[in-house]
Structures are given as C-alpha cells and as structure tokens.
Structure 1
Amino acid sequence: MTEPLRHPRLLLSGAAGCALLASSAVSVMVAVGPERALISHLVEGTVVALAWVALVVVCVFRQRRAGVPLGMAAAWSVSAASGGWALLGWPFAIAGAWVSVTTWAIGVGVSYTLGVLEAARWSTPRVLSVLATASALTMAFAFATLPTITVEQGDARPNPLALPLSPSLSAIGIAATAAVSFAAIATLVLGATSPARRRSTWPVVTAAILGLAGIAAGAVANQWAPLVQSLTVPLLPLAIAVTVWGSMSPGIRTANAKLDGAADPASALTATLTEIRHDLGLAGLAIEIADDVVVRVGETGEHRIPLVHLGRIEGHLIAPPLDEDAAIEVKRVGPSIAAVLASARLIEEVRRSRAELAVAREEERRRVRRDLHDEVGPLLSAVVVQSDVASLALERDPERSRRSIAGVRAAAGGAVVALRRIVRDLHPVAVDALGLVGALEELAARLSGTTSVRVSVTPLPPLPAAVEVALYRIAAEATGNAVRHAAPATVHIDLSVKRAVITLTVSDDGTGFEPDRVTPGVGLESVRQRAAELNGTLSIHSDGAGTDVRADIPLESGGDAA
C-alpha cells in the first residue's frame, strides 16, 4: 500500500506561497490591461502557475507525492510575478524579465518531462528522469544567456549575461527537451497495460501533446502564441489533477456492487478478485484467513494487505507488488472485502454455536435420562418389589412385612432425593430461594468435607437472572471438578465487579492438569457456552500448583461495585 504523505502542511504552505505570487501577477494584469498582459505571456504564466498549485492541493488531499508539482508551481509563479514586475517598468525591470524567462524555461522544460513522468505512478526508467532534468536545465541556462532579454513585445534589451554559444545551446536544449518529452509520453503509453492505467494515462498524454503543440505553434505563428499557449499549456497540470482526484474505477465499482449484500460470500469474493485483477492488470490475487488461502485467482505474489473491518483484521489480501494507482484502487475495495469476510465469519460462528448448543442439549438430555435410569429407576423398582413382598408376607409374617414397608419407605425417600437433585441440576432452585451469594455459600457447604470450599464476594449490583444462573453453573462445575478430580486442600470462589464486568474466579491448590492436552467434558463446554451466550469469556489456567477458572461477563449497567 502507499505510504502516508510526508509533511503535508509544508506542501500546502508552499502551494499557498505560490498562489500569493500568482495573485500578484493578477494584480499586474488588472493594472496593465488584459491585452497587454496576454501579449506579454503574463496570462499564460499566471494561469499555468495556478493550475500547478491546484495539482499540489489535490495531491496532498489524495495522499500523493507532490514534490515535482510544487516545484512546477514555484517556477511558474516566480515567472509570472517577475514578469509582472518587468511589465510595470519598475526598477530592475530587466532583472525581473531575466528571472521570468529563465524560470519559464525551467517550467516548460520540467513540466513536459518530469511533470509527464509524475503522472506515471508506477516505476519508470531512472535514466529518463536524469535526462529530463539535464535537458530542462540546459534549456534554462541557454535562455538565461541569450543576447537579448524581451521585457515585453517590441522591448528587447541587451543581456549582460549573454554568451556567444547560447543561441546554439538553446536550440540543443529545446531539441533535447522535446525528445525527452516525447520519450516520457511514450513511457506513459507503453506502461498503460491495464484498464485502470489507461484511464489515468490518456488524459495526461492528450494534454501533454496539446501543450507541446501549443508551444510549437507559438513559435511558428507568433501573433497567436500568447492565446494558444494560455489555453493549452495549463491542460497538463489540470489533466494530472483530474486523474489524481479521480473517481472509483468501473471495475472497482462493479466489485463493490457484487460484494454488497452478497448471498454467497465465496462466489462473490472470487468474482470480485477476478474483476480487480483484470481492471488493474495484475498477475493474480488471493484472500488469506488465519494463514489459509480461501480464495485465489491467478498467480499471486507475497505482498500482504490487511483487510480491516471495525478495527478487526479479518484477513489479508495477497497480491504482487502494487504501483501507486493499483494500491489506491485496492485500498478503496478493501473495506468491502473485509465486511464480507466479517459477515462470513459471523455466519460461521452462529452455525457453530447452534451446533454446539444442539450437542450440549442432547448431552444434557442423555445425562438426565441416565440419572433417571441409573438412580430413580432402581429405587422405584425396589418400591414395587418391596410392596409385593409386604403384601405377600402381611398375614404369614407381619415382621417381615414391616421390614418390607420400611424398605419401601427408604426406596421412595431415595427416589425423592434423586429427583430433587436432578431437578436442581436442571435449574438451580437455590439461586431463586437464596440469591446468588447464598446459593454459592450453600454450594460451598455441600461440597466441603476433606476439601475446604470458601466463598468471597464483594458488594454486587442487581444482576440479571441469566447472569446469576450462568455464574452459579460455572462455579458449581468448576468447584465440583476440583473437589472430585484435583484432591485440593482448599477451593476459593471469588466474585467481584469492576468497570461493568463481573468476574468469577474458582481457584484450587490441587494437582492441576494441562488444559491443552485434556479434551473438555460436556460440563465444561456447557459453562463455556453459557459465558459466550452472555458475551463473556471463560479461561482456564492450570499447573502443578493448582487450577484457576475465570469467567468475565459484561453487565448492561456500568459502574464499579468494588
């Protein structure tokens, strides 16, 4: 991707200074009249200077390089301001005319060489840039040392810096600048290998050719030169400004349209990458999520571009090295791709959550069925058997009958206890009867024996029923696991609220285990799902010194209650 523009304020300050110089030339035009200003090329210099200033502003706002445009704006604005000084006939008018013609030569020479190459925001031959600078400086030096300096039409004065070879040197400079200009234009045309490049190239190529034609026509038909050049020379910076400001390319608009509301994210992403690849002329593109390539079109490179949606990196776009134009276009479509990836991720998370809930619900049903079959079933069977024995022995052996009836009572009592436990496991009645804190204390008392279970609770705000039940379930599962499997001396249940998040921690000093190597049971997965349903998290840390189970659940009502 493109790097952030350096020193944008400095660039804008430079553009403002150039605009002030050009404004001084406008004042001169008002003072001397439009006809005189046009004939003396003051109108041309002022309009071109303002066009380059506009390009600098556009480049800054579009985060594009603006060094060469600012240099052009400076050359043309200095040419216009100093030309206006000479036109007014103020002291040192000849010096003003000399500065004006020299900076005009620099402006023309660099505009149609380096300025044209500036429109090619992909790699261009470095030797061409060197030749462009050399030819422009040669032409400027030749113009600065011509035998005479023209203050305005019909007022040519001797140049104190004249050199004998300057006429020949100026011809060489003009020819070299023209050759490099057409080489730069050819570079643009040959580099326009994709639809996106062609859209940004042809306006600049057309404007450059028209500008060069205007300058050449001015040399042939001198009476029309000021008007023709005033109309054609400003076209180059304006054309570059239009392409820099630009609008989203048709290919990118089509890609965004395919992504918006896509029913099938996979096919939409494939179609989008195909569209972008064709529009930007790339070898290939791919989308990578968590080191896995999910969509690939063509042969990709190793350039990774983050795809960010709402501050979260959803994946990476894998592409070959991108030029500035391609990077800008990819940056425009990146958020839409990231949004589709986020939607696909959320859909998958919902699908997975539903599957996990279905599994947990079925496991809970199996557990209830097993408990009823293994605990309540035998007890009720014992009631039936003991009742039959009692009825048969009622007359022959009253004592045996009494023992059978006592067995019936014990079996029925056991069945009642088992049913109450099963019902309590299905819904913690203790939370409704005692509140969350009381239920945790009752849980601690029930599980204490060889293990000491302690409860520590800071003052709590009123909690939603779903949060209370989830916290109780998590505490019961974690504490029960610790007592049954870890042989701890002490288990601590801590409950606190801070910054609108309630935290439950169950810690023990038992044998511990390795969480990565142990497959979570149904109970642990169930409480983890309970925390997730409330937008909370469940974490487990265990080592040889014990185990810590921590649940963090956000509350809808904020504030600390510590």
Structure 2
Amino acid sequence: MIHFLVRQVRRWRLSLFEKVILANTLMLLGEAQVGFWVTSHNLESAHYLLDTAFIVVATLTTVVINFVLLRLSFRPLFSLLATIRQISTGETQLRAPLDRHVDTEIGELARSFNTMLDRLEHTRQEQTRLILQTQENERRRIALELHDEAGQNLTALLIHNELLRQQLQLLPQQEMHPATRQQLEQGLLHLNQLTQQTLEGVRVLAQQLRPSVLDDLGLAAAFRWLVEDSAQRLQLEVGLTLEGISEEVHALPPLYETTLFRIAQESLTNVARHAQVQKARITLRQTKQHLLLQISDQGCGYDPARAHAGSGVVGMRERASLLQGTLTLRSQPEQGTHIDVCLPLPEQATSPQILEEERSYDPEQSSTNHAYCPGR
C-alpha cells in the first residue's frame, strides 16, 4: 500500500513545496482523527498522561516524516553539488545525474545545469578550434613571407657576394696590396658563409612553422618529411609505418591533417627532450571509420600524473578532442611512453559546416591567423 502511494505521488510530479504541504496536511488530518477518537472515548475523566504521550508521538512523527521527505528531496542537490565540485577540479566532461523521480524543480535545475555545461563546452571547443586554425594560418603566412622575402633577399646577397669576389679576382695584382686583397677575399668568403648559414636557418624555420610538403604533397609525404627532419634536427631515428593512408593531396580536410601532423611533431620533440633515447616509432593507420596514430619509444618513461605543463600533452589532447577524438598516454618509469590517438573519420566526426569551411579555406586570403576508440 505504501509503495503504491509513493508511486502515485511520484507520478503526480509534485514540487517540493507541494510535497511538504501534502505530507503535513495528511499528518494533521490523521492526528486530528486519532485525537478525536482518544477524547471521545475518555469523556468521564482526564487522561493527561495519555494526551501528553499522544502529543509527543504526533510531534515526533511529524518531525521524522518531514526529515525523511526533505532528505530524499534534497539528495539530488547533494549529488549535483558533488558533480560541481568535480567539474571545478577540471573534469569538464562530467554531467549532473538525472532521475525522473526527483522533484520537478530540482530535475529542471539539473537539466539546465547540464545544458549550460554542454553549451560552454561547445563554445570552448569552437573558440579553441578557431584559435588553432588562426595559429596555423599565421604560421603559414609567416613561413611564406620567410621563404619569399627573407629567402630571396639572402639569395640575392649570396649572388652579389660571389660577383664581388669574382671582380676582386679580376683586378690586376699591382692595383691592390696583397695583404689588402687577402683580407677582402677572406671577408667576402666569411660573409658568404654567414649568408648561407642564415639562409639555411630561414629555410629550416619556415619548414618548422608550416612544412610546405603538408600543403603541397599531402599527409603521407609530410610524415616522411617529419621522419627525415627528426633525424637531421633532433638526431632521432624514427621508424614509420603507414597503413591505408592515401597519397593524394588533401585526401582529408586540412584540420585533420594538421592535427595528426602536429601531434606527431610534438610527440617526437618530447622524445628527443625527455626520453633519453635515440629511437622512436610512428604508426599511422586508416580504417573504415577511424584514423589511428601511435607514437612510442622505449625511453626512460615517466609518471603521467606528474607530467609537467611544458610537455604539450594537454595541447595534443585538446587538438584530438576538437575532432571528437581521443588521446591516450601510457607511460611508466623505465618502460617507455606510448601515445595512442583515435580520430573518427570526417563523415562521422565533423559537421557539414566545418567541412565546408575547411574545403573553402584559402591561405592567400588570410591575413592572420584514458580513452576508448569505438570500432577499433
């Protein structure tokens, strides 16, 4: 009978105020009936002890019922408060639990809170996506200017240096003191070497900012270039395995190619800086539904819980999450580090609006700029 009444009350979806009023009204009616029965059966003499006991029992019953009712009604609030505290520590993926049997106002509060979190998360991801896209656009612009402006000017300087050196050699011996001629030749030679070093540095910097091979030849060629660059610049021997990756240019939207390339680039930089090893391995694989990237080394490893802010893991995970992907880092001291990235293919991961923005993007018109993988 009691369970039936409870189910009926839940079905009515009363507010907390209405529940309290209903419970107290029922208790008052019940107590009045009991009190009327007691007094009607004891008219001949006063039974103060019985009346006092009845008042005490009625009061205690009212307090207990109100306590239980309020405790049950406010339990979802305690759960909501615990969720808020966890979210404040950085677990932004959590949401307040929803129960169709809770109080109407409290349920609406939890739903509104979850909706607010979803909107904030969407806004944050959209802003981060725009920031990263602007950053890549700016890198592309700076790399292009370094190549076109600084590179061409330094090349012209090399040509002028060579012409001056040739003209100096054509001067008759008697028109210049031998010591002066030697100093000029050495000075021009030194200037030529410095110019060549600067030109090479500019080219390397431009490639690091935005490798032209990523835009010109596609993702597979960019990963091969990354392996060669790591060997030359980081003295890191990298084994590369490509499975199911198209050799076509822009077979994937630029945002996907950039995300995979930057995560691999940052991971190899971390290996060179922290792993105390000269070998690493990259595996890039495309399945029917996912893009899988694995970077591993057999270095010194570390405790991920104590990872310092400069390791770039947060940024890499943020890049993956923007494409509804996941990044899992597994590492233990003296057992190496393994990074697994899983990105859903664009058709499953990206809205038509984002895909259209990626396809229509023109860099020349821009002035600025512990996860589970389903189906794996």
- Using structure 2 for the length normalisation, give the TM-score: 0.54
The whole-number CA distance in structure 2 between the counterparts of 1:519 and 1:361 is 26
2:298 and 2:316 mapped to 1: Cα distance?
22
Q: Deviations over 1:195-216 (max 9, x none)?
A: 335458979x99xxxxxxxxxx
Unaligned runs of 5+ in 2: 10-15, 30-65, 88-92, 169-175, 350-373
Residue of structure 1 aligned with 2:205, choices 422, 426, 445: 422
- What corresponds to 1:342 in structure 2? 114
1:293-304 superposed matches below 5 A = none
Q: Which stretches in structure 1 are left out of the alignment for 5+ residues?
A: 1-58, 67-117, 123-192, 207-277, 295-311, 318-326
Report the residue type matching 1:529 in the other structure.
Answer: E
Q: Which of residues 291, 300, 323 is equivalent to 1:511?
A: 300
1:343-422 alignment, distance < 5 Å: 343-346=115-118, 348-349=120-121, 354=127, 397-422=180-205
CA pair 195-477 structure 1, distance change in 2 beyond 3 A: closer
CA gap of 1:545–1:534, structure 2 versus 1, over 3 A, is same
Indicate if the aligned counterparts of 1:542 and 1:548 stay in contact, CA closer than 8 A: yes
5 Å matches for 1:138-287? 195-196=18-19, 198=21, 282=70, 285=74, 286=77, 287=80
2:322 aligned with 1:541, yes or no?
no
Contact 2:220 2:245 in 1 (8 A): no
SS in 2 for 1:282: helix
Q: In 2, distance between residues paired with 1:432 and 1:412?
A: 28
- Distance apart, 1:358 and its partner CA: 6.8
Equivalence for 1:452: 237
What SS does structure 2 have at the residue aligned with 1:557? Answer: helix
**Once the 2 structures are TM-superposed, how far is the Cα of residue 492 of structure 1 from its aligned partner?**
1.0
Distance in 2, Cα, partners of 1:120 & 1:445: 69
Deviation at 1:472, TM superposition (A): 1.1
- Alpha-carbon distance in 2 for matches of 1:525, 1:336: 34
- 1:459 is displaced (CA, Å) by 0.9
User: What's the CA shift for 1:460?
Assistant: 3.0
Q: Give, in whole Å, the separation in 2 of the partners of 1:437 and 1:342.
A: 41
- Give the Å deviation of 1:441: 1.6
The Cα RMSD (Å) is 5.0
**Within the alignment, does 1:436 sit opposite 2:219 as a pair?**
yes
The CA distance in 1 between the partners of 2:128 and 2:259, in whole Å, is 20
Overall identity of the aligned pairs, in %: 21
Query: For 1:413-450, what per-residue CA distance to the aligned partner results, in whole angstroms no more than 9, with x for missing partners?
Result: 22222222222222221212332112212221332376
**Distance in 1 separating the partners of 2:114 and 2:86:** 16
Q: Structure 1 residue 558: deviation in Å?
A: 5.7
Deviation of the 1:405 alpha carbon:
2.0
Deviations 1:238-287 (A, max 9, x none): xxxxxxxxxxxxxxxxxxxxxxxxxxxxxxxxxxxxxxxx9x97378433
The Cα offsets for residues 455-480 of structure 1, whole Å up to 9 and x where unpaired, read as: 11111363222111111111111123
Structure 2 residue corresponding to 1:330, chosen from 91, 97, 102: 102
Distance 1:201 1:472 in 2: 66
| 1:292 pairs with 2:75 | no
SS at match of 2:217: helix
- What is the letter of the counterpart of residue 269 of structure 2? G
Larger RCO of the pair (alpha carbons < 8 Å, separation 6+)? 2
Is the 8 Å Cα contact of residues 502 and 552 (structure 1) preserved in structure 2? yes
Q: How does 1:460-479 map to 2 (within 5 A)?
A: 460=245, 462-479=251-268
Q: Tell whether the 8 Å contact from 1:508 to 1:547 is kept in structure 2 after alignment.
A: yes
| 2:245 maps to amino acid | L
SS in structure 1 opposite 2:294?
A: strand
Q: Aligned equivalents of 1:482 and 1:350: distance in 2? A: 32
The residue that corresponds to 1:502 in the other structure is 291
Partner Cα distance (2:328, 2:340) in 1? 5
TM-score relative to the length of structure 1 = 0.38
Based on CA coordinates, which of the two structures has the bigger radius of gyration? Answer: 1
C-alpha distance in 2 between matches for 1:120 and 1:532? 42
**Residue 530 of structure 1: aligned partner:** 319
